[in-house]
Chains A and B, each alone.
Chain A
Amino acid sequence: MNAFLAVDLPALVALLLAIIACATVGNWLVLRRESLAADATAHAVLPGLVGGYLVTGTRSPWAMLAGALVAGLLTIVLARFVVRATRTGAATALGVVCTAFFALGVALLETQGARQVDLDPSCVLFGSLETLFVATRESESSLLAWVTALPRPIWTLTAAAMLAVLASVIFAKEFAIRAFDPSFARVSGAAPRWTDDTRVIATTLAIVAAFEAVGSVLVIALVACPALAAAPFARSVRGQMLLSIVIAMPIAIAAYLASAHAPMWLGTTNPLNAAGTVACALAAAVPLSHGVARICQRKFHAGNAFNRRPV
């Protein structure tokens, strides 16, 4: 099997799945002005990962995933409690809680001798894009063989992405009503609490599943940047969601390929960090997209402020 099929294509598949999972849940976060949820979750899940290992005594990814999920949800619950109980802002509350969790995680890691948990910093930060490869025997070169040989993190990510999309489709109106105006939603009973809880669980799951494959830095970018880049052109929630994925995919693919192959053209041997490059590219797309939107607006809506219709 050639290098592309064995190494690059699985990584690209992981990347695209991560985009679907994270951009879907990310759109709701951005609409609710919670773009930094992934950053907070990234810090907060550390004790969960370590805890999962300590409780089960194994390096089972399911235990660690479960632990991460619990830690992520607990952070959100605690942060909301802090906001309700005091006048602390939401951002500060989240910052206080997630750094506390991170500190706890690091402490557990060091004191419980959990170093075998395989949580070296670069893996946590940048995921395992470079290690997601497919290895099949020479005799098995069919598509089916390739697919079934995809590494497990890709399957977890697929499940998380499907859940995210499903939740967004089923509860689209509830999420939108709540995101636009929570007080109206509360009074009219339009979006019952359990629908929002479902969203939070699907979000945390998508984020945690994506961490494993692409690392926390890229997940933070994937959750916020596609939606933010799509926002200036969006005329509906669904439009923003679709546009965010359409924008993110080519950028991510181009950035990944550039990080893998461009250095070789420039003469150095080592590829650039894939996750970091993609994250940087997606972030750059945000102000660029806003700039493009502003130019388009000026060209096609000259004098809009003055010919607006009367009240």
Chain B
Amino acid sequence: MRNFSCGYGARDADVVRDASFTLESGSMTALVGPNGAGKSTLLKGLLGLLPVTPSGEAQFFGHPLAAVRARVAFVPQRAEIDWNFPASALDVATMGVAARLGVFRRPSREGRTTAMRALATVGLEAFAETQIGELSGGQQQRVLVARALAADAQLLLLDEPFANADMAASTKLLATLRALAHEGRTILAVHHDLASVRAHFDRAIVVAGAIAADGQPREVLDPSQLAKIYGIADSPEGNAA
């Protein structure tokens, strides 16, 4: 992804300017930064999910998103889903499999097996038949990850997957993501817990109106740097809105 600049059409001007970075496969990268600094906006802008198409160029595996949708999956924030939807965990995971099929095809038995495997990877195989509304928050988040897995995505983009997750849920999810990265998949997650980023992620990109820092969490997230970054976020330039 090079020279990517995106903005939120409904508000003034660009929220994030001149963002530019490249991800390597098999890595776990975290997008961090103060609230409202544009982390989720950047993610959604990359994926074409904002009402106004951002300017700039985002390349996925060397191609525009439209050409490689089969290899990319988006895991939205838990709060954006209506968990009263009538579906079991397996049903949602199967949606990931179904996403890979053409319009007139149905998931086969193999497909459901793939979905079950995806559920097993995130540790939810015991809850396959449970209605998603009856799952806990952490479990719901993992169902969304299972869906992305079932779609066999090579690049997973997660929007605040650890929001409102307790320690147990976060630990489980981190372990899952680590395993996926190990397999060669690429993970990009919006995250707010800096300690967790420092401990578990390969790379941290700090977003505060623009990309303020990019590199190893140990270097990027040391106390003096953080003061500067979160300090920057308070000035008019940083928020650019």
A, B co-complexed:
yes
With A186-B49, A234-B86, A235-B131 given, is the CB distance from A311 to B95 under 8 Å? no
The verdict on B226 contacting chain A, using a C-beta distance below 8 Å, is no
Which residues of the other chain, B, contact A87 by a CB distance below 8 angstroms?
10
Q: A31 — which chain B residues lie within 8 A by C-beta? A: 85-86
Is A84 at the interface (CB under 8 A from chain B)? Answer: yes
Q: Contact residues of A with B, CB < 8 Å?
A: 31, 33, 84, 86-87, 170-171, 173-174, 176-177, 179-181, 183-190, 192, 195, 231, 234-237, 239-240, 304, 308-311
Contact A311 B168 (CB under 8 A): yes
Q: Which 7 A-B pairs have the closest CB atoms?
A: A190-B99, A189-B69, A234-B86, A187-B74, A188-B99, A311-B138, A173-B98
Please tell me which one of the listed residues B44, B65, B95 contacts residue A180 in the complex, with CB atoms under 8 A apart: B95
Query: Known contacts A87-B10, A311-B169; is A189 also within 8 Å of B81 by CB?
Result: no
Assembled-state Cα–Cα distance A189/B69 (Å): 6
Q: Which of A87, A239, A304, A311 has the most CB of B within 10 A?
A: A311
30 contacts between A and B (CB under 8 A): A170-B104, A173-B95, A173-B107, A176-B87, A177-B99, A181-B76, A181-B80, A181-B81, A181-B95, A183-B47, A183-B74, A184-B74, A184-B99, A184-B147, A185-B99, A186-B49, A187-B65, A188-B69, A188-B70, A188-B99, A189-B66, A189-B70, A190-B98, A192-B103, A195-B103, A231-B86, A235-B88, A236-B86, A236-B87, A239-B86
Contacts of B91 in A (CB 8 A): 236
Contact of B47 among A174, A187, A195, A240 (CB under 8 A): A187
- Who on chain A is nearest to B129 by CB? A235
Q: Give B83-112 as 1s and 0s: 1 = Cβ < 8 Å from A's Cβ atoms.
A: 011111001100110111101101100000
Q: Which of B38-88 contact A (CB under 8 A)?
A: 44, 47-49, 51, 65-66, 69-70, 72-76, 80-82, 84-88
Chain A residue at smallest Cβ distance from B91: A236
Q: Is the pair B169, A189 in contact by a Cβ cutoff of 8 Å?
A: no
- CB within 8 A of B49: which of A183, A239, A304? A183
Q: A186 to nearest B CB, angstroms?
A: 6
Whether a CB of chain A sits under 8 angstroms from the CB of B186 is: no
Given known A-B contacts A308-B136, A309-B126, A311-B139, A189 and B99 have beta carbons under 8 A apart? yes
Q: Is B221 interfacial (CB-CB < 8 Å)?
A: no
Given A195-B103, A309-B126, the answer on whether A237 and B86 have CB atoms closer than 8 Å is yes
Chain B residues with a Cβ under 8 A of chain A: 10, 44, 47-49, 51, 65-66, 69-70, 72-76, 80-82, 84-88, 91-92, 95-96, 98-101, 103-104, 106-107, 126-127, 131, 134, 136, 138-139, 147, 151, 153, 166, 168-169, 172
**Cβ–Cβ contact B69 & A187, under 8 A:** yes
A261 to B64, CA, bound (A): 66
Q: A33 to chain B: which residues have CB within 8 Å?
A: 82
Q: Which residues of the other chain, B, contact A192 by a CB distance below 8 angstroms?
A: 103
Shortest distance between the CB of B9 and any CB in chain A (Å): 9
How far, in Å, is A56 (CB) from chain B's closest CB?
36
With A and B bound together, what is the CA distance between A188 and B103 in angstroms?
Answer: 13
Taking a contact as CB atoms under 8 Å apart, the answer to whether B168 and A183 are in contact is no
Minimum CB–CB distance from B124 to chain A (whole Å) comes to 10
CB proximity of A103 to chain B, nearest CB, Å: 28
A236 to B133, CA, bound (A): 12
Residue of B nearest to A180 (CB): B85
Q: What CA separation (Å) do A231 and B76 show in the bound complex?
A: 24
Instruction: Select B87's contact among A180, A183, A186, A231, beta carbons within 8 Å.
Output: A180
CA distance A229 to B153 in the complex (A): 37
- B84 neighbours in A (Cβ, 8 Å): 231
Residue in chain A with minimal CB distance to B130? A309
Instruction: Give 6 A-B pairs besides A177-B95, A181-B76, A187-B47 with Cβ atoms closer than 8 angstroms.
Output: A173-B101, A185-B99, A186-B48, A187-B74, A231-B86, A236-B86
Chain A residues with CB under 8 Å of B73's CB are 184, 187-188
A31 to chain B minimum Cβ distance, whole angstroms, is: 7
Residues from chain B with a CB closer than 8 A to the CB of A173 are 95, 98, 101, 106-107
- Closest residue of chain B to A239 (Cβ to Cβ) is B86
CA gap between A184 and B85 in the complex, in Å:
15
The chain B residue with its CB closest to the CB of A240 is: B86
Report the minimal beta-carbon distance from B154 to chain A, rounded to whole angstroms: 12
| Residues A187 and B136 in contact, CB atoms below 8 Å apart | no
CA distance A206 to B78 in the complex (A): 34
What CA separation (Å) do A189 and B86 show in the bound complex?
22
A254 vs B153: C-alpha distance in the bound complex, in angstroms? 52
Shortest distance from the beta carbon of A129 to any chain B beta carbon, whole Å: 31
A174 and B99 alpha carbons, distance in the complex (Å): 8
A188 to B65, CA, bound (A): 9
Q: Which of B95, B147, B169 has its CB near the most chain A CB atoms (within 10 A)?
A: B95
Interchain CB contact under 8 A, B168 and A310: yes
B137 vs chain A, min Cβ distance (A) = 8
Shortest Cβ distance from A241 into B: residue = B86
